Amino acid sequence: MNYAAANSRFSQPSNSSWQPKPLNRTGDLSGWKRRMKQACPNPKQGEIVYLDRTYFDRAEQEAVYERIGYKVINIVGNGEAIWQRGRVVRIEEREYLAS
């Protein structure tokens, strides 16, 4: 997994707003938390972090490159971030490789 803009804040244009897109499924939560900690070791409330991923679409017979945004919506007492999953955006291969 590639981490895009991992340690920087993202300033959205004034004509856009954050759009949560939860998956509503279970999985490897501890592994996901490790990846988020690696991407953003010191999260701050309101910060948005992008994770890039790639997979092979068998139906289309092509590699798919995606960028998923996660926003810190709260910091709990122990300093752990509460993340909200956002929009998934397809990106071009060259953009994926450059990040």
Q: What is the pTM of this model?
A: 0.68
pLDDT of residue 1: 45
Q: What is the pLDDT of residue 81?
A: 93
pLDDT above 80: residue 30: yes
Tell me: the pLDDT tens digits for 36-51? 999 999 999 999 998 8
Q: Round to whole Å and give the CA distance between 20 and 44.
A: 18
pLDDT at residue 73, as a whole number: 94
49-85 pLDDT, tens per residue? 988 888 898 998 988 998 889 999 999 988 899 999 9
